[in-house]
Each structure stands twice: as structure tokens, then as C-alpha cells.
Amino acid sequence: MKKYSLLLIFIFFMMISLSCVVAQDSVNTNDTFQNIDDMAVTEEIDNSKDYYIGLSENDNSSINSNIITDDISSSDEPSSKNTLSSDSSSEKQTQGSAVSVSKISTEYPADYICFPGTFNVLTVTINSDVEDNFTIKLLADNQVVDSLDVQLTAGNQKFKLNDPTIRPIDETTVRGADNKKVNYTVQIYQMDTLITQNSIIADVMYNGYLGKDYAYPKSESWDWSYSTSVKGDVVFYSFNSNTYSGASTGSRSESFNLRLSGGKITESYLYILYNWDHTPDDLNNRFPLLDVSFNNVDISDRLLWSSLDLANMGSTWGALKYGLLGYNITDLTRPDKQNTIVVNRGCSTALYSSSVVTLYEKPGASYKNVYFGNGMDLLYNDYNDGNRPIKADSKVDISMDKVTEAMWYVFAGSAHSRDANLVFNNHTFENVYDGNSETMDMYQANVTSIIKESNNISFVATTTTVVAFHQLLVTTLEDTKVTVSKIATEYSNTAYAGTNNVITASINANYDGNYIVKLLADGNIVSTQTMKLKDSLNEISLIDPTVRVIDESTLAGAINNHVTYTVEVYDENVLLAKSNITVPIRYNGYLNKDFAYPTDDLEFNLNTTVTGNVLIDVLGADAYFGSDELAANKSYEFTLNLPKNSVFVNGLLYISYNYDKTPAGFPVFNMTFNNVDISNRIVGKYRDKTNLGSYGLSWYGVIIYDVSDLIKDGSNSLDLIKVNGTYAALYPPALIGLYNESDGNLKNIYIKNGADILSKTSYNKADRSVNITDNINVNIDKLKSAKWYVFAANAKDNLADLTFNDNVYSNVWSGDNAHSLQYFSSDVTSLIKGSNTVGFISTGGGILALQQILVVEKSKPKVVLTAKDVTMLYTSNQYYSVKVTQDGKALAGKTVKFTVNGKVVSANTDKNGVAKVKLSLNPGKYTVSASYDGIKVTNNVKVNSIIKASNKKVKKSAKKLKIKVSLKKVNGKYLKGKTLKLKINGKTLKAKTNKKGVATFTIKKNILKKLKAGKKYTYKVTYSKDTVSKKLTVKK
């Protein structure tokens, strides 16, 4: 009956395994392996009764064909296959006595198993019917590994012998592999004489209950590689034992409500913990076949951590797996709402209650560093005759910076009372669990007093089977401490009017993190920013966008209005620190005059036209006149050399200054130019000041004097005396002269005057663009060239750029000290337009922008001569005329030279610009020309004959021939009484014209008879220089 029971059990387990492979969707509702304690009860053997694994207390029959006994009365004997019988031929016994090795047992009693990776303890049972002294020797593979001197008494006695050999843990030590063998022999000697011996053959298989240090492949029980931080807290949710699901297929559902009271989840992880997993290894997956969903979302692809373990011993229990699966469910976890976990099993697997670890932020909370020990280890303090410590060790390194508290959380499955102790840095927490076979429990310990940077941790199994699961170490750091140690404006103790303001705050924080920083102006929030602050001193900038009016109250020295700036630092809505300053409101004169309160400038600009150009002389830096030279005299000399045939028409003297502290108004000077007092010849004056700090009361500017009637060619002298009370430093002066040049081209001169102190880099944390922009409108009709001049004081390298219609001139200044005054010039012919935008852009420290000059040269007006070809009658006395114009306007009184038939004559143009010359030319064709100012025009003149005659015929026999010849009307009148000549065949006849201008010639017989019949004769008619030839035909 007992054998049939065991056979049924064996068949039952085979069916379970088969169901996982063949029909994974089937559910065995009658599975008897409902919890881990089933295995624990069966495997907890009372060694004093020599029970085997898998046998009940009253059933000592074998469930394994390899486990049989060679003594029916002793049912705890392993299989005879692994037992070597004693050699009777070699057995020696004491005369009259009987001693035998009746049994050899390894630590795992159900099979002969030798544990690799550790020593092994063998239990030897000796039967003796004598009392005497003997020596017991243990041999492993014929090598003596232990020896014991004993005194035997009659009966059975047990002795333990130790094999210290440490055998390697490799793939051959895995259950089901081709295990290596150890031949253990126990020999009994008396007086060095071998009395008896017995042997067994043990399989070398690792003991998974000892911990993963003794398993193949060897691995750490816990992986502490992942750690994180949260400014808030950590919450653990574990279900009670009523969600435990025994080894089966099918589905399990768990629900929970995670109450965070408004906290924001930063990380959340789900742990699925299992035991007795029957999933076969040959399915290419050592882990259970589970489909896991969280809040109706499949999370199978979110697996982060996995770990498993097994006993590796016993035909059935050694193959069942225990393990942990960890999933990332951060984005799926719903705070303060129902959350549901559903696990569908494809093979028979038992499930502990799930575990959820959630990190969430909480305003005002302390920082916590969270160290995850992900993994597990199956432990069981049995089959351990060597009394080894059954434990899983790990080491976790942490940061001790700012740690004020440390909590240790350790999760375990099937942890009964007295099943486990925990050790943290040599401090033991005893008997920490009180669960049962179906529970998954968490133990927490405050380890603040014993924690250090490198921590050694042990999970120690003390009695029955226990599964050590994941651990967490949570350190709470000191409270967030933030101080606002300093608040500063862009310029010390000043808020700017007319623009925004950048406020710099020095904030000390003891943690890296995001903080909300608010800037308030007079109690009103003007800026709110989320900033990443470091665990150190942080310099941050905040912008007050408020633009405050520029008025007389914003002047340095006036009664200024004030603003109170407050900087507040928050963690979410929790105020951590604040500080404030109250500062006066003033304008920043460095930004340009658009941001300044108007000064009493005397504006002067000049737009004029000359036929010459502009001459400039700027003295060198050695002409600087320091402010400490009060009431001192300074003499200067300028040189302006005029071209020939030129004369000055304008002269302007520029005195530029700085650090002026004259009590009232502009600085005052006694001035003589070329020995003439010009003190009262001021035509323009400009000034500016920084308005900041002690120097903010000092003025920078320029005074312009008109010396148009005094300036001269060559050397010009200036003598300057500061009037008592004037406290100013003077830059080198500049003299500008405008002149006309005879026959020179027209030039339009545009002079824009001013003075503006600029600085891009001084007290400008907002990085505002600091520039002067102006427009110069010019007439570009008949433009020939254009040149631009820009003046500046303290014009050193890298202080300013210039722009002309968007064309940038970079770093144009080259002064070598602060006492220089320079001008820059550039040909802008290709850039100039009718309306021109010019810019002076500060790129560095302080520079004083001064006057600009634009010289636009016109092309010389074009002279045009207009004349026509002439066709005229002889003696008509017509004129050849030419009209002289310039830019379409007639030029009167201009002398024009005419060339007519090789003769040059001159004539002046009338008020209409017309000059003319009478043409007295004989009939014919002529070329005539007229020239003025290098311009020439050429025309054709045709003088036509005024004689009208025709061809005639006459008979040889005629007595006479009358030929009428007329003169054309000239100027509308007949030519009366004019003598004409007719010449024929050597004879000349004369006739006068009548009142109709007709002359009649009579050719008499005496002339005609000399003419031959049948011939043609030419006759010529002449009037003065006019001649016409015709034909006379003589007929028979």
C-alpha cells in the first residue's frame, strides 16, 4: 500500500509538469501544492529517525528507484546503486568480536549528495558487539580526508566525519546534469589493522538552500546598482496573505488605493514574487510564463529586474523555482485612486502578494536617497550538519553627505517566527518576522546609528525555508536650507529709470534641485522663475520689467524715489528664504541720452554748400588739459592748408571736456583765436553725465565756437584760460574749416553735433544695446562721392563700432589712452541714400561720442550746346546760332567760339543763352562748329544758288536768242537791278534784273553763226560769286 501511495504521488507530479508544456491554458484546481510550507513540512527531516525527503513519518518506503536499502529493517539507507558493499575477503575483525560500518549518510539524507563549494559532513553508523578502542578513517576517492579515534561500545553508534575538500561549483553540479562522483569509504582500524570498511558513491550537486554563493551560476543575491533621490517620501504597499495564490495556472487580481495626499509620483515599481514555479527550462525561459497588466495596461515589456533561485536537490523539489520580477509602473500608477494588478499564469506557479514601491515628491519635504537591492535568495537551514551559517550577504555603498536618518526595508516570503535574523554592519536584528507560509512580509529597521558609507548586510535563515526578497535602504537628508545672502542691482544701490532692471541674488542652497524664485518690487511680483540651484553659492539674475519714468527726481543729487526689491525662494508653495533691499531710482547715463533727463543743450547743426571741401585738424593726446590744472593757461596751434584758388567760408572750433564739476552750468573759458577774443562766440554746446555714483555728478561735453571770419590758411593759434571756478578736463581741441575752390565741384556739408557718454559693459547686466542712432537726409541728385567723419573722445581700441545704413565698421578706434580725441572717416559713396541711418555703437567701456560730418560731392553741372544745321540762299546773310544751357538753364553772357570756313570768331550768349554768327558764304557745303567750356558742337551749312536758268535750244539760222535768267527771292524780296553775266563760247554778256528779279540776255546773230549746228554748248550765268551752268543745243 505504501508503495502504491508513493507511485501515485510520482504520477501526480509528472502530470503537473506535462500540463505546463502541453496545455498551459488549463487550470488544475485540485493541485495539492498550495504553498511553500508544503515543501517545508516534507523536507524538515527528523534526523534522529532517519527520515528521507518525500516520506511520511509512517512510510519509510522509497519514492525513487535509486533509493533502496540493503537492510529492510533500516529504511533510511540510500540506493544500493551508490553503495559499495564491504569486501569480506579483506575485512578483518577482532578475534571473537564483530564491528561493521552499517551506514554512511551525506548531509542530504534522501540521496548521496556531495556539496561543492564547501566542506562536507558525513554521518557514519557503526555496529559493534565489543567494547574497545578503534580508529575510524574517511577516504574521498581513496584519499584520507579525516580520522577519528573512538571507543566503541556494544550496539549502534553514530559518528560525524568531515571532508574538507572544496570542490568546484560548475555546470556539472546542476541537478539533472552529468554529475561528477565522489567515492566515500569509511575504514575501521584497530592497532593499525584494518578491521572493516564500507563505501558509497555520492553525486556532486550544489545545495541551493545554502545561498547563491553556493549555486551555479554563482550570482549576487541583491543588485544594489540602482539608486535614486526624491524630495518627498517613499511609500510601500504590500497585500496581506489573502492574495496569496497557490501553484496553479489561471489569473489573480489585486487592487489597492495609493494615498499620497496630493504628492507627485516620480517613480513607481511593481514586484511580482513567486514560488513553486513549474515552468520547464526547455521552454527557453527560466522565468514563469506570466502576463502582467497594471491598470489594464500590459507591462510585460516594462520588466527591469528579474531574479530566481531553486533548491537543486530532490527529484521534485529541486526543480521548483522561486523568484522576483520587477516592473516600472511610474506613468501608470494613479495616486489617490484605485490601482489594479492582474497576473495571468501560463504554467503552474504560486504567487505571493505583490509589492509596490512608490516615490513621490512633497513640497517642503526633505530629500531622500533611495537605494534598491533588487534580487532574492532561497534559504533553508537544514541539510547542514556542518552548521554553516545559512545566509545571503550583500554590500551597499551610499553617500553619507547630509544623512540624518537611515531606514532599512527587507522583504521576505514564508517568513515564520524565528525563521530569520537580519544583520546590518554586524548589528543583528533577531526574529524579525512573524508570518506564515503564504505571507510576504516587510521588516523595517532604523539603522541611523550604524550606517556608514560602505555597509555589509546579511539575511540569515535560522530554521525552516524562507525566501529573502528585495531590500531598500532609504536615507533622509538634512532639511533643505536656503538663504538669500545678497541682493544687488546692476549699479550698486541704484535702480534704473527708463528701462528694465536686472537684479542679482546670491542664494546659498544645501541641495541641488529646482526651486521657485520670485522677485517682488514694492511688494508686487514682477518675476517668477523655476531655477536649478546647486549645492553651493548660486548667483542668479532676475529681471524687473517695470519701466519707471525718467524725470528730475532721477538725477544724481536730487531727492530720488526708491523701490524695494524682495527675493523669495520657494519649494513649490513653501517659502524657504527671502531678503530685500531698498534702492534709489536714477537713470543710467551710460545707456545714451534716450535714457537720460534732458540737459540744457544749445543745439547747433550746419547744412551748407561749398565748392571746395572740409579741412580737419585734431591735436594729439599731449594737448589734453587736466582737470587739476585750474585757472591755467593752455596754448594750441592748428594747421590747415588750403588748396590754390581757395578761401575759407566756415570755421568751427570744438572744445571737448570731461569730469566737469562746474557748480552752475557749462564750463567757462576765456578764449582767443588768432589773437581775437572768441569767448562769446559759442554757437553750440552739449553735455552728458553717467548719473551713477560719485562720478555721476561730473559732466562730459563739447562747446562749439564760430571762427569763420578768423580762420586762415596755414597756422591758427588758440589760447585758453579756465575761468576761476571751472573744474573740467579738456580733451585735445579740434578745428574744422570749410572752403570754396574756384571751378571746384559743389559739396553739400552736413554737420551733426552732440555729446553722449556711452558704455556697453559698465553696469549693464541686461546686455542692453547701447548706441546712438540718427538720420541724415541728403540730396543725392548728381551724386559724385560721399565721405563720412565721426569724432569721439577716449577713443580706445575695442570700445565702439559704427554703422552707416546697416554697414558695420568694427573696432574703428585706435587711441592709446583716455586722453585722446580721434575721428574716423570712410568713403560711403556706395552706401549713401536720400535718408541715411547712422549709428554709434558702444561695445566696451566708456567712450564719448561727438560730432559727425557728411560731405556729399555733386557732379559738376553739365553744359549743353544746342545748334542746328543751316540751309540758306546765297546772300541771305543768315546766322549760325547755338544755345548754351547748364542743368537745363540758359547761360547768359558766356563766350562761344565759332569756327566758320576756317575762321574763328567769338560771340556772347544773350539772356536766352544763344550766341550766333552771320554766315557770308558762297554757294556750297560747309562744316561749322561752336565750343564753350570744353564742349563743342558741329553742324553742316549748305548755301544754295539763287540763279534760276534753264537749258536752251536754238536753230543755226536764228537771227538772235533771248535767254531769261532770274534771281530767287532773298529774305522774301526780289533782287532788282542786279547785274548778271552770261558767258558762252568765249563771249560774255551782261544784263540787269528787273523788278521781278529777271534779267534777259540777247544772243545776236554774230554769236550764233559761230556755233555749229548739231552741237551743245555750255553757257554760264554768274551773279557775284554765284554761278550756274546750262546747255544750249544748236539745231540745223
Residue 629: predicted pLDDT? 61
Residue 421: predicted pLDDT? 97
Q: Tell me, yes or no, whether 874 and 853 share the same domain.
A: no
Residue 7: enclosing H or E segment and its boundaries? helix 2-22
Q: Which of 205, 227, 253 is the last residue of a domain?
A: 205
Q: Tell me, yes or no, whether 671 and 617 share the same domain.
A: yes
Per DSSP bridges, beta strands 403-413 and 367-375 are unpaired
Per DSSP bridges, beta strands 454-461 and 420-424 are antiparallel
CATH for 734: 2.60.120.1200
Q: Tell me, yes or no, whether 629 and 727 share the same domain.
A: yes
CATH for 575: 2.60.40.10
Q: Is residue 520 part of a domain?
A: yes
Q: Is residue 37 part of a domain?
A: no
Q: Is residue 931 part of a domain?
A: yes
Residue 92: predicted pLDDT? 39
CA distance 140 to 689: 104
Q: Is residue 32 part of a domain?
A: no
Q: Tell me, yes or no, whether 744 and 601 share the same domain.
A: yes
Q: Tell me, yes or no, whether 185 and 115 share the same domain.
A: yes
Q: Which of 419, 451, 477 is the last residue of a domain?
A: 477
Given a contact cutoff of 8 angstroms between Cβ atoms, the answer to whether 399 and 263 are in contact is no
Cβ-based burial of 795 (10 A; exposed 0-12, middle 13-18, buried ≥19): buried
Q: Tell me, yes or no, whether 339 and 457 share the same domain.
A: yes
- In the sheet that 998-1003 helps form, which strands lie side by side, from edge to edge? 947-948, 961-967, 998-1003
Q: Is residue 467 part of a domain?
A: yes
pLDDT along the chain (1036 residues), means of 10: 37 41 32 31 30 26 26 36 40 58 94 97 96 97 97 95 98 95 98 96 97 92 95 88 88 92 92 93 73 96 95 86 97 94 94 96 90 97 94 96 96 95 97 94 97 98 96 95 96 96 96 93 97 94 97 94 97 92 96 89 95 95 80 87 96 95 84 97 95 89 97 97 84 97 89 95 91 93 94 92 96 86 96 96 94 93 90 91 90 93 93 94 93 91 92 90 91 91 91 92 89 91 92 89
Residue with cell 543745243: 1033
Residue 699: enclosing H or E segment and its boundaries? strand 699-706
| Domain around 472 | 213-477
Q: Tell me, yes or no, whether 199 and 238 share the same domain.
A: no
Q: Tell me, yes or no, whether 201 and 217 share the same domain.
A: no
Residue 782: predicted pLDDT? 86
Q: Which of 890, 910, 944 is the last residue of a domain?
A: 944
3-state secondary structure of 1006: helix
Q: Tell me, yes or no, whether 282 and 356 share the same domain.
A: yes
The distance of Cα 763 from the centroid of its chain, to the nearest Å, equals 26
When divided into structural domains, the chain yields a total of 6
Q: Tell me, yes or no, whether 302 and 368 share the same domain.
A: yes
Q: Is residue 48 part of a domain?
A: no
Given a contact cutoff of 8 angstroms between Cβ atoms, the answer to whether 252 and 290 are in contact is no
Q: Is residue 10 part of a domain?
A: no
DSSP-assigned beta bridge partners for residue 409: 444, 472
Q: Is residue 898 part of a domain?
A: yes
Q: Tell me, yes or no, whether 439 and 516 share the same domain.
A: no
Q: Tell me, yes or no, whether 298 and 330 share the same domain.
A: yes
Residue 163: predicted pLDDT? 98
Given a contact cutoff of 8 angstroms between Cβ atoms, the answer to whether 850 and 754 are in contact is yes
Residue 818: predicted pLDDT? 86
Q: Is the pTM of this model over 0.75?
A: no
